[in-house]
Structure 1
Amino acid sequence: MDLRKSALSFGKVISVDGSKVTVKAESLRNLDGDTTLYVEVGSFVNCGGFHGDTICTITRVLIEEVERRENIVENKIVELSIIGSKGVDGRFTRGADKLPSIGCDAFLLNGEQVNFLLGINLDEEERKKYFKVGRRSMNGAGDAYLNLDKLLGRHTAIVGTTGSGKSSTVARIAQSILESYPKPRLIFFDIHNEYTNAFSGTWQQKANCIEWDSFSLPYWFLDLDEFISIYYPEAGGTQKMYIKEMIEELKRLDIPEPEDQKVSVDSPIYFDMDTLIGKISRKRDGETTEAKRDPFNKMILKIQSIHNDTRFSFLKRDMDEKKSLAAYFKFILGLDSDNQKYISVLDLSGLPAEVRTICVGVLTRLCFDYRYWDMDPENLPIALILEEAHTYIPEDSSSKYTLCLERVEKVAKEGRKYGLSLIVVTQRPSNISSTVLSQCGTFVTLRLTNDLDQNKIKRLLPDTLGDQADILSSLRDGEALVTGDAMTLPGKVLFDPPAPRPKSNDVRFHKAWIDGPPPGYSVEDISKWWITRERNITQRD
């Protein structure tokens, strides 16, 4: 495809300084058929000449006044940043063998040309790698596509302040994947029960929305550290040793020899909690003094209190059927052969605050182990979408976050080798683990107003964006600066609105305070749900 359309020529190169190019423009807008393209910050430009085709992005546009005798001449100056070049195969490639020559022409690139450079309009096999998510914000810049392999192969961060359209952007990306690929595998960690609504209607047949009262995380799947963190976080070294020995013995009960010797305390095999408590009691009764019995009394009281606490019922929800690991993953991943599901939304809104970080860490570790033991990473690649990630993987050395941080950071560093990807979603990137963010290859940055958040993201963005990174506080709702591996040519993208939307809209105070409470509003019902911890999610029109 011709990248040097005469109708889109707007000036000539007058200066080249490393990766910076200056163009003296003859005009700041060009007609491309029925479409008008403007010379504006973020637009893509080809500096074409005998050296080849150098692809740049506009970082600054200004008028330079020059005094000449009795009049003042206004020069239109456009500053560019080099981001790559056209390779021998006609595709975009990062870097440039030769820099533009002084005097060579500068051409605006339209959407069709940009997508051709990316390979979106080439052969059918290449086109399968891309899926449409919206359009580029610049006039005439065309539709915006993401490269699925690079989006998920190298992890992604989606960041934006509250109200910037973050949840809608996440939902749109997931819906676009479902539209473009028949058999994906996405798992949402839905902290506030927002996304069930986004995958209702036309998406319902493909979605496995697991409500809180159906969600389970069997206690026998916990490894020793996770079990201790939930059931007895104050345990000392000796108490941990006793618990380890007893659980290991219980897990080996129904395993025939010599296979039982391969079973460890971390093996995801069912054991009965009451039997464990009974073993601890007998161990206590064998001690001769009250001082020696006291640690076992504490152990029993703590484990029993958690086991009988209705807030932790999700840990024993599958106890009667002694759910196996295989059955659990078929349920979570929607792998029922008669009713396949391709996106799982786990409603985690009911998790007790004190164990939320641990449970997210457990789910992440289980998914990692599942992919680790599948010897081919392409058999069933999985993407984990971590909503409100700053609440459980913060840049914090506090011990209550340690377990979850270790598990998520391990996936960030090693997951892509096993076909496990992360999409980290947060409104406070300054509070997120730097280890996790540094492993992300793509950044979808919506509006950010906090200085700390802006500065952390700016440090992670490529220098070729120039002053474009300064627009983060003025982006529109649903508009993002997309950079990194999944979008080789970085820039502003206005994401298509999801249909339907997640339940993340701002509360309509004006409507509620005009109409008053809806018919049937009952303080008694709310009190009952509070006491029984059974949430009844309703939404007024």
Structure 2
Amino acid sequence: ESLCWVIDGSNLQRLMGLLASQLEPEKRLRLGTFVADPSAEAVADGDRLFQRHAALLGSTGSGKSWAVALILERAKSLAHPNLVVFDMHGEYTPLTEGDAPIARAFHIAGPGQAPDDEHALYLPWWLLNQEEMQALLLDRSEENAPNQAARLSHHVRALKHERLVADGKTELAARFTVDSPVPYDLTGLVRLLSADDAEMVPGAAGREKQGPFFGRLTRLVSRMEARISDRRYGFMFSPPTTHLAYDWLHDFAKRLLGTAPGIKVIDFSEVPSDVLPIVVGVMARVLYEIHFWTTEDKRTPVTLVCDEAHLYLPAGNAGAADLRALDSFERIAKEGRKYGISLLVISQRPSDVSRTVLSQCNNFIALRLTNDQDQAVVKRLMPDSMDGLTAALPLLDVGEALLLGDAIILPTRIRLDAPKVKPTSATKNFWTDWNSASVEEEALVAAVEAMRTQSRR
């Protein structure tokens, strides 16, 4: 009977619904209903959606956060879901609360961090590879930048070797590289660089002369001391002493890649904006490399949910910090599928997101897009015969989306289901609130104090 249908309008939606119903039950991911036929379920192939990267794109207020919450809610029903959400604004906190939370909450430690907070995450300096460390501490425009980079690498390697020997890891001490994540003494690093900067060496006629790095590391040392003393960077330069133990990274891997519970939300909202790309990039790189080095038959697939991706995966004019994050995510986008790690890229400005990352995404959920440059990104992904669908991009209602990619049979317009637990991203009702709500002055005082401590906790 279906072969006799006129393939247009709601009949097309019914046909797609029929074909989608043939998916194996374990692959079915219900996202909502078809706009043309609300009685038909819009079902995607969950395997294909995640294994080949996906992107969720939409202007602010179009329903992106609700769509993410819906996907996490659906994943929660599985036996062992494994997703790590990079939450830039703390809007997914409600999903981690209540008697039956969807996800486990983590946050990058802020300046006012309580020492016994089990949800706090630190990224100690020794996790940074040399490119990340240099992007964080060096000014490439300086004449002495090459000397600073060389001495930084030299001393870091020496300090890591010293630590491995002291811990009895002699086999590893003979095989490690300068980028191996091995704890080392940060104070000792500053001391060695300061010594180089002030070193005097024997000269002619028994006189002393300035050493080869005399005065050339001054700015590097000053920059390091400023970073170390700045409480905003305490999550990196002032972690608890337990984070300097050799075995700490083992526990870190279990917390973020283990399956109890499988969905984790990491709140980055208190990370200073100038180092946000490096911090997110380090987190992604470390998780990817742990997964990369896991024995193949022991890997459990992991998806990194990249909220507000345009903040750290820019399409152009990338600075040194942005480039380090781009390197990490572009490597995952290109190679992650082979090792069971994928990306769900979320952005309100797809035209500002790395072309390399988006080009590796095989599935797209496009909500309302009002900017013509952002619309063009989606239109390039659609066949010419689907111009009618892309024309609707600026007209989509909140919660409506175009779904395209190999996770669904044909590009189509759907209405996403509302999640049971709503993220804290709802648009304020300005006119209604002005008519009913009043300003709570005590809340303003609390806000000022939070601003002074640079912490919401």
TM-based fold match above 0.5: yes
User: Any idea what SS the aligned residue of 1:494 has?
Assistant: strand
Number of residue pairs the alignment of both structures matches: 427
Identity %: 31
CA distance in 1, matches of 2:172, 2:232: 36
Counterpart residue number, 1:232: 138
Deviation readout 1:406-431 (Å, 9 max, x if unpaired): 21111111111111100010111111
Counterpart residue number, 2:126: 220
Deviation readout 1:416-474 (Å, 9 max, x if unpaired): 11111000101111111111111110010001111111112101123342422111111
8 Å contact kept, 1:333–1:341:
no
Counterpart residue number, 1:211: 107
8 Å contact kept, 1:218–1:319:
no
Counterpart residue number, 2:114: none
Counterpart residue number, 1:3: 2
How far apart are residue 476 of structure 1 and its match? 1.1
Quick check: which one's strand share is greater?
1
How far apart are residue 356 of structure 1 and its match? 0.8
The answer to whether residue 45 in structure 2 is matched with residue 147 in structure 1 is yes
Judging changes above 3 Å, is the alpha-carbon distance between structure 1 residues 292 and 470 closer, same or farther for their aligned structure 2 residues?
same
The answer to whether residue 298 in structure 2 is matched with residue 409 in structure 1 is no
User: Any idea what SS the aligned residue of 1:354 has?
Assistant: coil
Counterpart residue number, 2:62: 164
**1:305-344 pair list within 5 angstroms:** 305-321=226-242, 322-323=244-245, 324-334=248-258, 340-344=260-264
CA distance in 2, matches of 1:258, 1:521: 57
User: Any idea what SS the aligned residue of 2:342 has?
Assistant: strand
The answer to whether residue 82 in structure 2 is matched with residue 185 in structure 1 is yes
8 Å contact kept, 2:232–2:271:
yes
Quick check: which one's helix share is greater?
2
8 Å contact kept, 2:228–2:238:
no
CA distance in 2, matches of 1:486, 1:263: 42
Give the aligned residue type for 1:139.
D
Q: Residue 380 of structure 1 is aligned with which of 293, 296, 300? A: 300
Give the gaps of 5 or more residues in structure 1.
Answer: 11-22, 24-38, 46-108, 537-541
Counterpart residue number, 1:137: 35
Deviation readout 1:260-315 (Å, 9 max, x if unpaired): 12122111111121111122223334334399421232222111110111110111
Counterpart residue number, 1:360: 280
Give the TM-score of the pair, scaled to structure 1. 0.74
Give the aligned residue type for 2:19.
L
**1:132-531 pair list within 5 angstroms:** 132-139=30-37, 142-179=40-77, 181-201=78-98, 203-204=100-101, 206-213=102-109, 214-234=120-140, 236-255=145-164, 256-287=169-200, 288-289=209-210, 292-321=213-242, 322-323=244-245, 324-334=248-258, 340-376=260-296, 379-400=299-320, 401-513=322-434, 514-518=436-440, 520-523=442-445, 525-531=446-452
8 Å contact kept, 2:29–2:46:
yes
Give the aligned residue type for 1:208.
R
Deviation readout 1:118-167 (Å, 9 max, x if unpaired): 3x346xxx221112121111225511112121111110011011111111
CA distance in 2, matches of 1:522, 1:161: 30
The answer to whether residue 23 in structure 2 is matched with residue 117 in structure 1 is no
Counterpart residue number, 2:116: none
From the CA coordinates, give the structure whose radius of gyration is larger.
1
Judging changes above 3 Å, is the alpha-carbon distance between structure 1 residues 362 and 44 closer, same or farther for their aligned structure 2 residues?
farther
Counterpart residue number, 1:65: none
8 Å contact kept, 1:216–1:316:
no
Deviation readout 1:386-423 (Å, 9 max, x if unpaired): 11111111111333322111211111111111111000
CA distance in 1, matches of 2:440, 2:291: 48
How far apart are residue 44 of structure 1 and its match? 4.5
